[in-house]
Structure 1
């Protein structure tokens, strides 16, 4: 699987991507990065074929996206600014059309509405509307966090995986059917709502705890129900 496909798999809510030059208002030099808008976060890569995330910019404290009237030495390029609550960032797009699309998608997924004052083709407007609908659906999916503690019979010790009595009670609200990558992205995007998810393990009747910013995952093993009679 090449880098582009791996990135699209790890960033399932990918709305728009392309090269941008990025710097904050405090930086003197801009860095050219392949940029992907996934959910309400910008992810930065070395190139279009790279699957390793170099940096990210969460748009949760978004205030506005505006044109930057200063001109680049390359007259084909166009600049715009993204203003957050605490900081602002300057971006340079390869063309005027690319700038308008970036502004449109950023506004659409953050504000959940089509932007005004941006001239787009009918097909581009339709794509923006689809991004709004997908983002609305995505925001309804995350489970509420933080969560109640797990039952004592299901808690792992410091050694990680160990056998436990079968747990047949209700699953906690932190349980989500997701892969490791999906769980990590969910925790990053919803950082203000908690730092732990319980998801299905990869070995039979097991669960896996994924934590945000943790050095490792813990595994909880449960026995099949019919094993109780043995």
Structure 2
């Protein structure tokens, strides 16, 4: 059973949060596609929303016409022939095909009006041109910042225990690039880590929320779609809810479940062993042997080829010589007496060389004869 057109129109308006300027059936083809695909298009604000048919309430694709550089017609304006337009966007080229030249001219007028300005040359009726002027005035007013009324202050009773900074960190940690089955498996196997996973949707630029709720019959897995729009994000419920950011999406589910759910944050492993760090390469911890003391270097004694007999140093003349031990066999008494006599004689010659004094009796006795 298809939904009533009024319900579908209301949901589209809630999801897109943009005024509807024009709508109708058309064909679209990307530069990489080979054939045109049929869509039902709605020109809301400065965006073209494409649906599979006129009964679908959530758009399949969106073209941001703010990035439009040029719009060229591949066929002249002639009745009873389809019209093909090539839209050159900043990232790609898209072709739009209308069933007739009149329909194509209306689409061209509305697209150029919301993007740039009212075209000067249009093959339209006066009533259609007047409608384009109203659309232009409405779009200028919508884009003007002063036309947006300030948001009312947020009631204090809506503030929950989690702080905004905490939610900001959790929104980044509970987002995983996984499928629905993978998200449900993560929540089922790790219930202690949390119960909310934010993940990408199968539709481009959209998201999904996977929850694990505990009921009386056991844990239940639920999945919700979050659609991205120009004004923020729309939570696809029976009554759609529009919020400004993904952080508010997460906060909305936490508040609605009375804080029984929390974001899924994987637990971090902890180490159980302490290992000593290796010593730096520049240090050596092995004990070293004591460094040996340097030995004195003595120059070798030079010896002549013929051995010379080392004689004792002779005393200088006029000095007394202490006799050696009498037990020395190398000297005898005769040698001592002879040496003593020679020493006294030499001393006498030195002292009395210029005098005629008599010789002392001691000298006379030593010589063995008496002199007068």
Q: What TM-score, normalized to structure 2?
A: 0.40
1:21-68 Cα distance to aligned partner (Å, 9 max, x none): 001122101110000111111101011122111011111211111211
1:157 aligns with 2:157: no
Which residue is equivalent to 2:308?
none
Root-mean-square deviation (Å): 3.8
How far does residue 154 in structure 1 lie from its aligned partner after superposition? 6.3
1:122 aligns with 2:126: yes
- Structure 1 runs (4+) deviating above 4 angstroms are none
Count of aligned pairs between the two proteins? 173
CA contact (8 A) 1:18 1:36 kept: yes
**CA distance in 2: counterparts of 1:10 and 1:126, whole angstroms:** 28
Which residue is equivalent to 2:229?
185
Relative contact order: is structure 1 or structure 2 higher (C-alpha 8 Å, sep ≥ 6)?
A: 1
Structure 1: unaligned runs, 5 residues or longer: 144-152, 161-182, 189-195, 197-207, 222-230
How far does residue 209 in structure 1 lie from its aligned partner after superposition? 5.9
**CA distance in 1: counterparts of 2:75 and 2:51, whole angstroms:** 27
**CA distance in 1: counterparts of 2:103 and 2:133, whole angstroms:** 17
**CA distance in 1: counterparts of 2:37 and 2:24, whole angstroms:** 14
Q: Of 96, 101, 111, which aligns to 2:106?
A: 101
Q: Quick check: which one's strand share is greater?
A: 1
- In 2 relative to 1, CA 42–122 (structure 1 residues): closer, same or farther, beyond 3 Å? same
Q: Secondary structure at the match of 2:123?
A: coil
Which residue is equivalent to 1:16?
22
CA contact (8 A) 2:69 2:90 kept: yes
Q: Secondary structure at the match of 1:91?
A: strand
**CA distance in 2: counterparts of 1:157 and 1:47, whole angstroms:** 42
Q: Of 92, 97, 119, which aligns to 2:97?
A: 92
**CA distance in 1: counterparts of 2:35 and 2:76, whole angstroms:** 15
- In 2 relative to 1, CA 154–110 (structure 1 residues): closer, same or farther, beyond 3 Å? same
- In 2 relative to 1, CA 133–156 (structure 1 residues): closer, same or farther, beyond 3 Å? same
Q: Secondary structure at the match of 1:216?
A: helix
Q: Which structure would you say has the larger Rg?
A: 2
Structure 2: unaligned runs, 5 residues or longer: 1-5, 150-161, 172-226, 234-241, 256-372
Which residue is equivalent to 2:284?
none
How far does residue 106 in structure 1 lie from its aligned partner after superposition? 0.6
